Amino acid sequence: MKALRALRALATISANPNINPLNPTTIFHRFYAAQPQEDDLSHSPTFSDSDNGSDSVFDSSHYTIPSIGSNAKAQTPKQPTWDERYRDKADKLIFGKEAQKRKLRALEEAEEERRRVLAKALLEAALERGDDEDENEDLVVKEEDQKSLSVGIIGAPNAGKSALTNYMVGTKVAAVSRKTNTTLHEVLGVMTKENTQICFFDTPGLTLKCSGKPYKDIRVRVQSAWSSIELYDVVIVIFDVHRHLNSPDPRVTGLIKRLGAQPHPKQKRVLCMNKIDLVKKKKDLLKVAEEFNGLPGFERYFMISGLKGSGVKDLTQYLMDQAVKRPWDEDPLDMGEEVLKNISLEVVREKLLDHVHQEIPYGIEHRLIDWKELRNGSLRIEQHFITNKLSQRKILVGKNGSKIGRIGIEANEELRSIFKREVHLILQVRLK
């Protein structure tokens, strides 16, 4: 067999007139060379063959992305030709354990379904406000008639703060992920209706120790969130009621009781029981309401679903009633450049958390490097991921740039749908 392989190699070499078969170095170069072979005409250029010479850069211009409003159908991915049941059975017999593909596929389908529900809810919320906005489209609110309100949304990690903020605003302004500590800094979202403007501030997740004292987080973000609580007109304290019923966390309970221990002289606080759509027995919600009913610091209690919008209408009306006469802080018709920049960072970070797991995304420094509005109206956005370890960089880049490419494609598509214009997104992974 070894002699047969050698004869085949010699035949291959002799078939190419550009190679001298008598040169032994050519044979070893063919077997062991690490560089791309110049005489291989079948070599097709990949993303790593671009001018930058690295597969750690995603450039949206290198990918074919359908234009906004085009009727072109996306190509359906090729389906495997084997039967999944026999494939799983073979994996179990060969490797001695259940294959993880089905579990991963189920998680991906659940995540996709969650995204569809959230997108539908945001669309319905925008349509509900559409009638009122059409009636008042040409109405200019005078400065002396304007009302405004600043609302801080605080709670434990994964309580649903970002999902509620996005739903109230009507578009994505904060990253939403099933991972903890998705929000790293305060995120602003603005809702303007009639003569009232409400500014929502989505804050990082807060927790208390069992002793009742805040955690001394190394990052300044949590300390900043604690100090900014006093600056809001209304504070929404939100918690996951479904998780509280199944496995109550004393740290979350301590946070709620601390914030509701006594009324604030210049601030109103409300308690929101979020994710009621996951609770099967609605009677259990009354038990939770009775548990926190004796806290004097909370003026109202709301049962909501930040994902599907249940109960959000009553919460919105309550906030509208609390607005005070004050000039608006934000333009109601046009989002500022800083808000757009922050949205671009949040969208890319959300995709990063979806595709990179464990502690890696939390140790990556994410920067906005360049932001330009081109003459044709499109946006050029360049962002960099800076890692501390070479191993993290390899994981984030993926094989031949597959991981960073997938993050970039999904982020670019969502940014184009949010900004309603063409977006040229460039992502680069750098080693610190």
Condensed to tens digits (0 to 9), the pLDDT of residues 164-183 reads 988 888 888 877 766 655 66
Tokens, residue 300: 């109202």
Q: Is 369 helix (H, G, I), strand (E, B) or coil?
A: strand
Rounded to a whole number of angstroms, the CA Rg of the chain reads 27
Q: How confident is the model at residue 308 (pLDDT cuts 50, 70, 90)?
A: confident
Domains annotated for the chain, with CATH where assigned, are 109-325 (3.40.50.300), 335-431 (3.30.300.20)
User: Whole-number mean pLDDT of the chain?
Assistant: 75
10 Å Cβ neighbour count for 172? 24
φ and ψ at 430, to 5 degrees?
-120, 155
* Residues 182-214 as b or e (16 or more Cβ within 10 Å = b): bbbebbbbbbbeebbbbbbbbbbbbbbeeeeee
Q: Is 371 helix (H, G, I), strand (E, B) or coil?
A: strand
How big is the CA angle at 229 (ends 223 and 235), to the nearest 5 degrees? 140
pLDDT at 344 over 80: yes
**What is the torsion angle, in degrees rounded to the nearest 10, for the CA atoms of residue 115, residue 120, residue 125 and residue 130?**
130
Cα–Cα distance between 23 and 21 in angstroms, integer? 5
Cα–Cα distance between 129 and 127 in angstroms, integer? 5
Tokens, residue 259: 């914030």
Condensed to tens digits (0 to 9), the pLDDT of residues 184-197 reads 667 888 899 989 99
* DSSP-assigned states of every residue in 260-300: TSS-BTTBEEEEEEE-GGG-S-THHHHHHHHHTTT-TTEEE
Kindly report the length of the chain: 432
Condensed to tens digits (0 to 9), the pLDDT of residues 59-79 reads 777 776 655 554 444 444 455
pLDDT at 339 over 90: no
The answer to whether 400 touches 46, Cβ cutoff 8 Å, is yes
H or E segment at 192?
strand 187-193
Condensed to tens digits (0 to 9), the pLDDT of residues 202-261 reads 887 766 555 555 555 445 555 566 677 888 999 999 999 999 999 888 888 888 888 888
Name beta bridge partners: 165: none
**Helix spans in 357-400 (H):** 390-397
Which stretches does DSSP call E strand in 130-174?
A: 147-155
Condensed to tens digits (0 to 9), the pLDDT of residues 100-158 reads 656 666 767 777 777 777 766 666 666 565 554 444 444 578 888 899 999 999 888 88
Condensed to tens digits (0 to 9), the pLDDT of residues 396-415 reads 888 888 889 999 999 999 89
pLDDT of 236 = 93
Tokens, residue 285: 């919600």
Write down the pTM of the prediction: 0.64
Cα–Cα distance between 288 and 158 in angstroms, integer? 19
